[in-house]
């Protein structure tokens, strides 16, 4: 083999070894299987023994073997240098996840310790059953209130209840102490405001002081089913006045045209008979024919009275049909509905207190509305002072999210309308105080959940709010609740 080839091969082997040595520190740590395997015993070299004197035998201790390590190395144990170097090597950081961490979903509020259910009875007079249940593990003192419809009064109340009236509304109140996991049933009977008119009477369970609601429910009593009233059907077309007028006008116009055509044909026939009588069998005529041809006669036109009469009849038919159509369309317009065109989303609905009203995302139910005396508006910490004579009106509102996603809502969109078409938004500081310092508008309402909470409005004047406007978003048509 030539010397140059041997030198090249030796150089290649040397460079290859350098590459292997450089790559050894970058090798990954041992596999879990290899790390879990027992390490071989490490032989400790014998200690150095000084030379003995002449004639004295030298004693060398036998080599000792270190015990194998099968688990994590304890502090202070003998670890090989190579193992220490490998464990001290820092591990590179892991790569960030490819997908962003999703936003944490809103956790629904815990269920209240007291639940309420209201059911009407099938009776000639309005009667209700109120089921109150304590689902907690400890006794609860609660105050149950049932709002009575406007104009009605209680005729029978179950034991422990009492009726009271403030302003124009009446209510029935019970003070109960419910043991753990117990339930009780309350009952009321009311006077009907009008025969056959449905009555809605919501009921709520409050804390012992009556300031914060636990739960609310509502029910509507319907009168016994009576015989169905005769359905009012629309008259057939031939019995409607506009159609009759239009048909009469068309009939008159056709009759006039038939008369004109008949008269014209009759005149032509008479002229032909006269010409035939004047002819003398081809031998001549009685009167000499004029040398010049007779002038061409003008085509006869319908008489003026026929044209004017037909135009009047057609005009009367068009005006009558247009007036009848416009009257029907105007009478079918519901003036109580809110506008739903343009930027509004959903259909605006209106209803009384205690009836669930649905808009685009939420279902609102107003169970109760109470107002304090003049000057009862309290100043929350950090809020501006209310005007002199202002008072607080607290509405107990149930909000149910009917969509499949969490929905935010804002306090400035909830309004109370006063006489004179004036309105005020929710007093957020007072609402936070009524909810024990919790900002109910800070977090959205979880999908499919329902909350019952008080909303506080600071109003001026002596008249309470006449209407509440509640909505989930800026472009929602919202609902309007009429106050009794």
pLDDT at 260: 80
191 and 248 within one domain: no
254 and 145 within one domain: no
H or E, element range at 246: helix 241-278
250 and 214 within one domain: no
State how far the alpha carbon of 276 is from the alpha carbons of 271, 273, 280, 286, 291, in Å: 9, 5, 8, 12, 20
**pLDDT higher at 96 or 191:** 191
Quick one: 291 exposed, middle or buried, by C-beta within 10 A (0-12, 13-18, 19+)? exposed
Closest CA to 354 of 166, 201, 138: 201
H or E, element range at 130: strand 127-134
Q: Which residues contact 465 (CB under 8 A, 6 or more apart)?
A: 369, 371, 393, 416, 417, 418, 457, 459, 483
Query: Which single residue is written with the structure tokens 């030379």?
Result: 51
Which of the four pLDDT bands, split at 50, 70 and 90, describes residue 319?
confident
H or E, element range at 44: none
pLDDT at 400: 94
312 and 398 within one domain: no
pLDDT at 473: 86
Q: Is 122 among the domain residues?
A: yes
pLDDT at 50: 45
245 and 178 within one domain: no
How many CA atoms lie less than 13 Å away from 298 in the CB half-sphere?
3
Last residue of a domain, one of 164, 194, 221: 221
Is the pTM above the cut of 0.85?
Answer: no
Q: Is 418 among the domain residues?
A: yes
How far apart, in whole angstroms, are the C-alpha atoms of residue 91 and residue 29?
Answer: 9
How far apart, in whole angstroms, are the C-alpha atoms of residue 411 and residue 18?
Answer: 74
Q: Is 127 among the domain residues?
A: yes
Query: From the CB of residue 359, how many other CB atoms can be counted at a distance below 10 Å?
Result: 22
Q: Is 19 among the domain residues?
A: no
pLDDT in tens, 25-61: 555 554 444 444 445 444 444 444 444 444 444 444 4
Residue 347 pLDDT > 90, yes or no? no
407-438 b/e with 16+ CB inside 10 Å = b? bebebebbbbbbeeeeebebbbbbbbbbeeee
193 and 146 within one domain: yes
Which of the four pLDDT bands, split at 50, 70 and 90, describes residue 391?
confident
The tally of domains found in the chain comes to: 3
Q: Is 91 among the domain residues?
A: no
pLDDT in tens, 58-109: 444 444 444 444 443 333 344 443 334 344 444 444 444 444 444 555 566 6
393 and 325 within one domain: no
400 and 327 within one domain: no
How far apart, in whole angstroms, are the C-alpha atoms of residue 136 and residue 140?
Answer: 8
Backbone angles phi, psi at 138, to 5 degrees: -140, 155
Residue 398's domain is classified under what CATH number?
2.60.40.1240
Backbone angles phi, psi at 140, to 5 degrees: -135, 135
Q: Is 403 among the domain residues?
A: yes
Residues spanned by the domain of 145: 114-221
474 and 368 within one domain: yes
Is residue 418 within 8 A of residue 449, CB to CB? The reply is no
Is residue 427 within 8 A of residue 390, CB to CB? The reply is no
Q: Is 33 among the domain residues?
A: no
Which of the four pLDDT bands, split at 50, 70 and 90, describes residue 363?
very high
Span 453-473, average pLDDT: 90
Span 429-442, average pLDDT: 91
Span 303-325, average pLDDT: 76
H or E, element range at 196: none
Which of the four pLDDT bands, split at 50, 70 and 90, describes residue 328?
low
Backbone angles phi, psi at 162, to 5 degrees: -145, 150
321 and 387 within one domain: no
65-94 b/e with 16+ CB inside 10 Å = b? eeeebeeeeeeeeeeeeeeeeeeeeeeeee
Backbone angles phi, psi at 345, to 5 degrees: -115, 125
Of the chain, the percentage scoring pLDDT greater than 90 comes to 31
pLDDT in tens, 202-227: 999 999 888 889 999 999 998 765 44
Residue 141's domain is classified under what CATH number?
2.60.40.290
Span 466-481, average pLDDT: 90
pLDDT in tens, 227-278: 444 444 566 666 676 777 777 778 877 888 888 888 777 777 766 666 666 6
Q: Is 89 among the domain residues?
A: no
217 and 244 within one domain: no
Span 300-312, average pLDDT: 73
136-157 b/e with 16+ CB inside 10 Å = b? eeeebebbbbbbbbeebebeeb
pLDDT in tens, 138-181: 999 999 999 998 888 899 999 889 998 876 678 999 999 999 99
pLDDT at 65: 45
β-sheet bridge partners, residue 147:
171
254 and 327 within one domain: yes
How far apart, in whole angstroms, are the C-alpha atoms of residue 6 and residue 358?
Answer: 94
Beta strands in 180-323 (DSSP E): 182-190, 199-200, 203-206, 213-217, 220-221
The alpha-helical segments, DSSP class H, found in 43-110 are: 81-88
State how far the alpha carbon of 171 is from the alpha carbons of 121, 188, 215, 267, 416, in Å: 19, 11, 17, 92, 22
């Amino acid at each position: 083999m030539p010397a140059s080839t041997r030198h090249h091969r030796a150089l290649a082997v040397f460079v290859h070894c350098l590459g292997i040595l450089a790559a050894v520190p970058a090798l990954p740590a041992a596999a879990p299987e290899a790390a879990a395997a027992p390490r071989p015993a490490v032989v400790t070299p014998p200690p150095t023994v000084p030379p003995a004197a002449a004639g004295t035998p030298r004693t060398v201790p036998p080599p000792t073997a270190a015990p194998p390590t099968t688990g994590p190395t304890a502090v202070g144990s003998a670890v090989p240098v190579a193992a220490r170097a490998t464990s001290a090597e820092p591990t590179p950081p892991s790569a960030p996840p490819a997908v962003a961490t999703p936003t944490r979903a809103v956790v629904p509020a815990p269920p209240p310790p007291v639940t309420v259910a209201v059911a009407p009875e099938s009776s000639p007079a309005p009667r209700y059953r109120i089921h109150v249940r304590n689902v907690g593990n400890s006794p609860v003192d609660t105050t149950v209130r049932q709002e009575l419809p406007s104009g009605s009064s209680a005729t029978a109340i179950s034991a422990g209840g009492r009726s009271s009236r403030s302003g124009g509304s009446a209510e029935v109140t019970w003070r109960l102490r419910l043991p753990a996991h117990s339930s009780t049933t309350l009952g009321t009977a009311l006077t009907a405001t009008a025969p056959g008119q449905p009555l809605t009477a919501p009921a709520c369970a409050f804390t012992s002081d009556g300031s914060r609601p636990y739960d609310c429910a509502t029910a509507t009593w319907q009168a016994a089913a009576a015989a169905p009233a005769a359905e009012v059907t629309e008259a057939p077309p031939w019995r409607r006045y506009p159609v009759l007028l239009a048909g009469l006008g068309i009939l008159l116009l056709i009759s006039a045209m038939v008369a004109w055509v008949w008269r014209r044909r009759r005149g032509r026939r008479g002229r032909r008979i006269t010409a035939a009588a004047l002819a003398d069998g081809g031998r001549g005529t009685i009167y000499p024919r004029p040398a010049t041809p007779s002038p061409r006669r003008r085509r006869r036109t319908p008489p003026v009275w026929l044209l004017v009469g037909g135009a009047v009849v057609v005009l009367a038919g068009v005006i009558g049909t247009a007036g009848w159509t416009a009257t029907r369309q105007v009478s079918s317009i519901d003036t109580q509905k809110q506008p739903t065109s343009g930027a509004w989303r959903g259909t605006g609905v209106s209803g009384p207190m205690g009836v669930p009203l649905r808009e685009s995302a939420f279902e609102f139910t107003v169970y109760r509305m109470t107002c304090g005396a003049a000057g009862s508006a309290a100043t929350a910490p950090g809020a501006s002072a209310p005007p002199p004579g202002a008072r607080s009106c607290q509405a107990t509102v149930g909000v149910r999210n009917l969509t499949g996603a969490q929905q935010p809502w804002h306090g400035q969109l909830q309004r109370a309308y006063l006489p004179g078409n004036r309105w005020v938004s929710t007093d957020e500081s007072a609402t936070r105080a009524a909810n024990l310092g919790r900002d109910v508008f800070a977090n959205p309402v979880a999908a499919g959940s329902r909350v019952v909470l008080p909303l506080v409005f600071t109003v001026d004047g002596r008249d309470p709010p006449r209407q509440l406007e509640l909505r989930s978003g800026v472009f929602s048509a919202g609902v309007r609740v009429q106050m009794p």
